[in-house]
Amino acid sequence: RKKMVKICCIGAGYVGGPTMAVIALKCPSIEVVVVDISVPRITAWNSEQLPIYEPGLDEVVEQCRGKNLFFSTNVEKHVSEADIIFVSVNTPTKTLGLGAGKAADLTYWESAARMIADVSKSDKIVVEKSTVPVKTAEAIERILTHNSKGIKFQILSNPEFLAEGTAVWDLFNPDRVLIGGRETPDGQKAIQALKKVYANWVPEERILTTNLWSAELSKLAANALLAQRISSINAMSALCEATGADVSQVSHAVGKDSRIGPKFLNASVGFGGSCFQKDILNLVYICECNGLAEVADYWKQVIKVNDYQKNRFVNRIVSSMFNTVSGKKIGVLGFAFKKDTGDTRETPAIDVCKGLLGDMARLSIYDPQVTDDQIQKDLTMNKFDWDHPVHLQPMSPIDIKQVSVVWDAYEAAKDAHGLCILTEWDEFKILDYQRIFDNMQKPAFVFDGCNVVNVGELREIGFIVYSIGKPMDPWFKDMPAMA
Ligand code: NAD
Ligand code: UDX
């Protein structure tokens, strides 16, 4: 084999872009080209305004773009020239046909694999970077070998564990890099080649190698376990509200147990993001296909609790405002699924806003990183359609009139009856809540879905405050029974 020098990554998204930028930065002797079929995405990667917001990413891209990092729409050329091809295309939940609403849609993956088979003229290592169902490597192997002209392909599974908002940090300091491959001499050789890339900056003991199926399943398992912690603490938050316990105190006390650990125990309005729900549904589907109904039901419950948490929040708002929000203005602070990202995929804000719109509220939404266009699009899309632009079915235009998007938290709150906080942006902690209170309708409500505000201080100002899992304001206790 010739000396490995060229990497091509198919898919210039939240994973492909940052991951490849960091590989280019840490491996100056490797040429990295990120390709995508989306012209606007590639244009943005080549501009001053990158297509995704990630702290620290601009600096990394600036240091290597044009040197050993390139973004291109010439997919076939760069795939054919590469030694290692990462596939980091989207793998959303299927919306139609067999397994709809659960199974992973591998359309994009399969078309990438067929294209690789078509254009390759030399041996390649093909790396699954996307999160895929267990055994996908086998399917990909079949596509590649049945369509190739005597070229050798080695498939590796190298799932990505970065979280959005901290992607650059996570890539610089991964807890582990996981590489799965075939247990054959060629498979092991391919593992070593990829390991060598990461060894440029990741300590050897953090690079784990496994068989293909363990690597594929570990990714689904990690996301399922992380999401399960959130659903567990969110389930506790409901019990806290019923009993007078404070969920922050409970998670602090519980997290002190070194076997449990303190991270990922923050109660919230529910988890969002493009991964957790999709990957658990995928896991559930795989369990069902393998006849493991009990296992499937166990993981399904993590999503059920997450949906329950979002519904509970909406019900709380409506019932505390005299059982109707019809025609009332409600300010919404935060729309992204977490702070430090502009990503809105599966953000709980979509469900909460849709719930309030269903009760005919008027919404005024502010998020420091999400555009008006994106919010309007998200609120008029059906579940799971965000990653399937082909079957978009807009809701009726009347719903859109109920929503305005503003560029300032004070504007969102002005004349509002209630204020919902749906993303834990740091700037929401230091707002002038007295000024907000003075400009709101009375009684003025705050519904904090991310434990951002100081409940005591806000009650002092005169707000009626609901904060998930915190001891309840007497107001809510006196309200008629609700969910
Ligand atoms: P994304 O939608 O941001 O990016 C995918 C890109 O692939 C898009 O730009 C799309 O145009 C492109 N694409 C699709 N088919 C193509 C083809 N045939 N040829 C060329 N380009 C093509 O998705 P993402 O968030 O980067 O996620 C990618 C994968 O990584 C998913 O499987 C996801 O589950 C996984 N993952 C995501 C995260 C995350 O935080 N977003 C973390 C870990 C793993
Ligand atoms: C997740 C995984 O963390 C990452 O390893 C994987 O590669 C992709 O999926 P991401 O979705 O980007 O990353 O962000 P994450 O920080 O995990 O947050 C996901 C959601 O959970 C957010 O909506 C966040 O607000 C919520 N969350 C997180 C909580 O509600 N409570 C917590 O304690 C932690």
Atom of ligand 2 nearest to the CA of 276: 9
Q: Position of tokens 């969002």?
A: 272
- Report, as an integer, the average pLDDT of 12-23: 98
How far apart are the C-alpha atoms of 60 and 19, rounded to whole Å? 11
Are residues 197 and 258 both part of a single domain?
no
- Which amino acid residue places its CA nearest to atom 31 of ligand 2? 266
Atom of ligand 1 nearest to the CA of 104: 32
Which tokens in the block code for residue 120?
């390759």
Together in a domain, 168 and 286: no
Ligand 2 centroid–CA 271 distance in Å is: 7
- Same domain assignment for residues 146 and 271: no
Provide the mean pLDDT of the chain: 94
User: Which CATH number belongs to the domain containing residue 303 in this structure?
Assistant: 3.40.50.720
Give me the active site residues, please: 275
Same domain, 407 and 471: yes
Tell me: do 340 and 461 sit in the same domain: yes
Q: What is the ipTM of this complex?
A: 0.98
Binding residues: 11-16, 36, 41, 89-93, 130-131, 164, 275-278, 345
Would you say the CB of residue 139 lies under 6 angstroms from ligand 2? Answer: no
Quick one: pLDDT at residue 390?
47
Whether the CB of 11 sits within 6 Å of ligand 1: yes
Q: Is the CB of 353 under 6 A from ligand 1?
A: no
Which domain-ending residue is among 137, 172, 202?
A: 202
Least confident of 119-128, 172-181, 279-288, 391-400: 391-400
Give the tens place of pLDDT for each residue, 29-76: 999 999 999 999 999 999 999 999 999 999 999 999 999 999 999 999
Q: Which atom of ligand 1 is nearest to the CA of 130?
A: 32
Looking at 171, 202, 233, the residue that finishes a domain is: 202
When pLDDT is cut at 50, 70 and 90, the band that residue 409 belongs to is very high
Counting other chains too, the contacts that 165-170 makes at CB distance below 8 Å and 24 or more residues apart are 165/54, 165/55, 165/338, 165/339, 165/340, 165/341, 166/55, 166/340, 167/14, 167/18, 167/54, 167/57, 168/18, 168/22, 168/54, 168/55, 168/56, 168/57, 168/60, 169/55, 169/56
Question: Domain residues for 298?
Answer: 245-478
Residues 228-247: tens digit of each pLDDT? 999 999 999 999 999 999 99
Residue 421 lies in a domain: yes
Q: Is residue 265 part of a domain?
A: yes
Q: What is the pLDDT of residues 295-316, one digit of tens each?
A: 999 999 999 999 999 999 999 9
State whether 324 and 190 are in the same domain. no
**470 has pLDDT over 80:** yes
Give the number of domains in the chain. 2
Q: Are residues 142 and 273 in the same domain?
A: no
Ligand with minimal distance to 111 CA: 1
128 lines ligand 1 (CB under 6 A): no
Does 249 lie in the same domain as 337? Answer: yes
265 CB under 6 A from ligand 2? yes
In a domain, 208, yes or no: no
Same domain, 274 and 388: yes
Distance 276 CA to ligand 2 centre (A): 7
Q: Using the mean position of ligand 1's atoms as its centre, give its distance from the Cα of residue 14 in Å.
A: 7
Asked which of 173, 202, 231 is the last residue of a domain, the reply is: 202
Measured from the CB, is residue 91 less than 6 Å from ligand 1?
yes
Based on the domain organization, do 156 and 272 belong to the same domain? no
Which among 137, 327, 308 has a CA at the least distance from the CA of 236?
308
